[in-house]
Structure formats: C-alpha cells, structure tokens
Structure 1
Amino acid sequence: MTLAIDELTGALARKPGLAELHREIVRAHRTGDSFILAFTDIDGLKTTNDELGHQAGDALIRNIVGAVRGTVREYDLIVRYGGDEFLCGIPDLGLAEISERLENTRASLAADHNGFFTVGLAQLEPHEDLTSLIKRADTAMYQARRTRSRS
C-alpha cells in the first residue's frame, strides 16, 4: 500500500497518517511497548506569511519539519495534522530522551532564527485511543507554550 505524502513537507498526509498512528497504538497495546506522541505546532507562521509571503511560510514549514525529521528516527511517523501542526509517533523511546532531542532541536532553530515551534508530548497509557492521546499531546503543547511565554 502506498501512503499519501504531503507534497510540501514529505510528511504523511492526515488521513493515512492517522491510520498509521492508530496501527502503532494497537501494536504498542499488544506488545506493551512504549509509544509517545509529539504534537508540534509551528509558531509565527501567519506572521511569516503576512509579512514575507507564502513562499517564506512554506520554507519555514519545510525547515522545521526537516529539523524534526532529523531529530527522530527514520521509521518514526511524522504526520501533517493541520496547516502548521504535525504529529510525530515515536515507539520504543523514553519520554525524557525524545523530550531532550526535540528541545535541543527547538532551541537550535530558535537561536539561529530558522524557525520556532512548540511541542507537547504524551505517552500512551493502557487502553488509551488515538483521539485521547492527541488531545493530551495538544494540551501539553499549549502548556509548553504558556510556560515558555512566561520565561
């Protein structure tokens, strides 16, 4: 089966990506392995589009998704969830390790003014479904944004 790929970013398109995430969750429940979902939101995309044009906004999206892709493993899932929102499904990796990897990537991009993003992480709990996991990761992303804005 060939999966639909988002042309701009190379991430999985939403519908097939969500199906793949669901499969990974079923596998994690069956095997008892860990599974982490990262909800990534690009900061300032509307401002970039309004001030510099949509080509600059597209470049920002590609840059950030490329940086996240370089942070996770080749087989980890990256799904374009919305215009500037991405889900990363990460099996068999500890929460602390992926948190540190993504934070280092976020800080590096921000320091170089190559893009800003906020990420929220949620670790799959027993009997949890994809909808609930996405909601918890989304909530964690907003909490991370609020925490960072207070710093």
Structure 2
Amino acid sequence: MNPRVMVMSITKDINKFFALNIAAFMIILSFIFVFGTYDRKEFILLTSLSGIITLAVNLLIAKIMRRKMEKIIHTSLEKFENQLYFDELTSVYNRTAGMNRLMEEMARAKRHSQHLSIAMLDIDNFKSINDTYGHLAGDKVLNHIALQIKNFLRTGDVVSRYGGEEFLIILPETDEIKAFMAMERVRENIAKKAVKIGNEKIFITVSIGIAEIETNDTLTEAIQRADMALLQAKRTGKNRIELASRHVNAGFKLS
C-alpha cells in the first residue's frame, strides 16, 4: 500500500476510535445522571469505570497505530532499498550496487585465494531495435535479457545492469574456462528464445567479454579487461564470446 494512503487510513481510524471513546464516555455519564441517583461511592465507581473504558479504547488506538506505522516504515524501507540497490526496469542490481558487489567479491577471492571471473554482456543491435520497434519494445528486450541471464546462472552469481544495454555478471569461485561455459549457455539460450513485439517475434543475440580477475587487479582494470574482450567480440561478428586472456578456449581468441 502507498505510504500516503496508509497515513490517511490511520487518521480515519484515530477519528473513528476517538468518536467511540467519546461516545462510550458520554453514554456512561448519561446513564449516571439520567437513570438514577447514586451516592458518592457509586458515583466514583461509575466514573472510574468510564475512565477504564476510555483507557482501554486509547490502548486499542495506540496498538492499531503502532501496527500501521510499523507497516508504513517497513514499506518505505523496502521501497528505498529497491531504489538504492536495484535497477527499476530490469530488477537486477543497478550499476553502483553491482560495482560494490564486485569489490566485495574481489576482496573475498583475494583473501581466500579463489578464482573470480566477470563477464560484460551487450545486446547486439539494440539501437536498431529501439529505432524499429520503439523504446517500449527496447524496455521489453532489456527485461527479457535480464531474466534469461538470471535463469541460466547459479544462485550465487551476481547480475547488474552496467548501463544502457550492457550487463555486468560476477561469477565467484569460477575460472575463465568455467565462466566461458556458463556464459555460453546464457548466450545460446538468448539466441534461441524469441521476444514477442506486437504481432512479431524477433530474435536477440548478445556479445560477451570475459575476464578472470588477477591477484593485483584493481576494480577499474578488471572492468577494462572484460570490456576490451567485449569490444573484440562485437568487432569480430557479434553473438559470440571473447576472453580477456591470451589463452585459446573453444575456438575463441582475443587478438
């Protein structure tokens, strides 16, 4: 529920229960003064009873207000967290959150002497898709690609939208060969699955650059190496993977 709507709801509840509070108090006083005569002790007893009822109603109001305020706070924090960490369109990590996760994974890999690889993925001919089918179609393609990436990676892998039509994928405890195999599955499945735009089905391809993080890599150096591999993949035909290293794997080589 929208926080503003919830605040309005709380205000209505407060007004309603204050009305009940006053009504209960007035009924008891009316009963006291209209329907009988009472000695001093009875009068004190009845007025005390009205005070107890008033207190009970106030406690009920406070309890309801607390629960609703807790819900407002939880909803607001959840919304703020989503805006802070996640890309609004694709629901994967945004660039800042993705880079922060990469720094964390680089530190962890160095600390435990583990492999770590990253992949830069770019949608081929994305500008042409936008120009031909419109930006809403482009948004649909971005969502489709983000979903396909997530579907074919492990739970511990991290996907973020790096910018525009480019995604950064972090593959913990993964050397470049295993990273290549994982991203090849992603690439193949994206190429096979059509996206429906209006009455038309279009096929999308992606190019990918992979870099295994080296011991002394800075964050910038790691991204640059993966990005250079991606550029090489784009230059040599698209719909392919290039490795940042000079090793030859599965027929792909970075010149």
- With structure 1 as the length reference, what TM-score do the two structures score? 0.90
Identity of aligned residues (%): 35
Q: CA RMSD in A?
A: 1.9
**Residue by residue, what CA displacement relative to the aligned partner does 1:90-135 show, whole Å, maximum 9, x if unpaired?**
1112322221232233233224443211110000101111110000
> Contact 1:9–1:65 (CA<8 Å) still a contact in 2?
yes
Query: 1:76 offset after TM fit, Å?
Result: 1.1
Q: Residue in 1 aligned with 2:219? A: 130
**Residue by residue, what CA displacement relative to the aligned partner does 1:28-47 show, whole Å, maximum 9, x if unpaired?**
11111001010111112111
Could you tell me how far apart the structure 2 residues matched to 1:109 and 1:76 are?
18
1:103-118 matches, cutoff 5 A: 103-113=184-194, 114-118=203-207
Structure with greater helix percent = 2
SS at match of 1:122: strand
Match of 2:235 among 135, 146, 150: 146
SS at match of 1:74: coil
> Contact 1:63–1:115 (CA<8 Å) still a contact in 2?
no
**Are residue 35 (structure 1) and residue 124 (structure 2) matched?**
no
After the TM superposition, which of the residue ranges 53-62 and 100-109 deviates more from structure 2?
100-109
Could you tell me how far apart the structure 2 residues matched to 1:89 and 1:50 are?
31
After TM superposition, the runs of 4+ consecutive aligned structure 1 residues lying more than 3 A away are 111-114
> Contact 1:36–1:89 (CA<8 Å) still a contact in 2?
yes
Larger gyration radius, structure 1 or structure 2? 2
SS at match of 1:81: strand
Could you tell me how far apart the structure 2 residues matched to 1:44 and 1:26 are?
35
> Contact 2:148–2:189 (CA<8 Å) still a contact in 1?
no
> Contact 1:14–1:79 (CA<8 Å) still a contact in 2?
yes
Gaps of 5+ in 1: none
Match of 2:210 among 121, 131, 134: 121
Could you tell me how far apart the structure 1 residues matched to 2:189 and 2:166 are?
19
CA 1:100 to 1:148, structure 2 compared with 1: closer, same or farther past 3 Å? farther
Aligned residues: 150
**Are residue 18 (structure 1) and residue 99 (structure 2) matched?**
yes
Q: Residue in 1 aligned with 2:24? A: none
Structure ranking higher on relative contact order (CA contacts 8 Å, 6+ apart): 1
Gaps of 5+ in 2: 1-76, 195-202, 241-255
CA 1:16 to 1:101, structure 2 compared with 1: closer, same or farther past 3 Å? closer
> Contact 2:123–2:206 (CA<8 Å) still a contact in 1?
yes
- With structure 2 as the length reference, what TM-score do the two structures score? 0.55
Query: 1:69 offset after TM fit, Å?
Result: 1.0
**Are residue 81 (structure 1) and residue 158 (structure 2) matched?**
no
SS at match of 2:119: strand
Q: Residue in 1 aligned with 2:172? A: 91
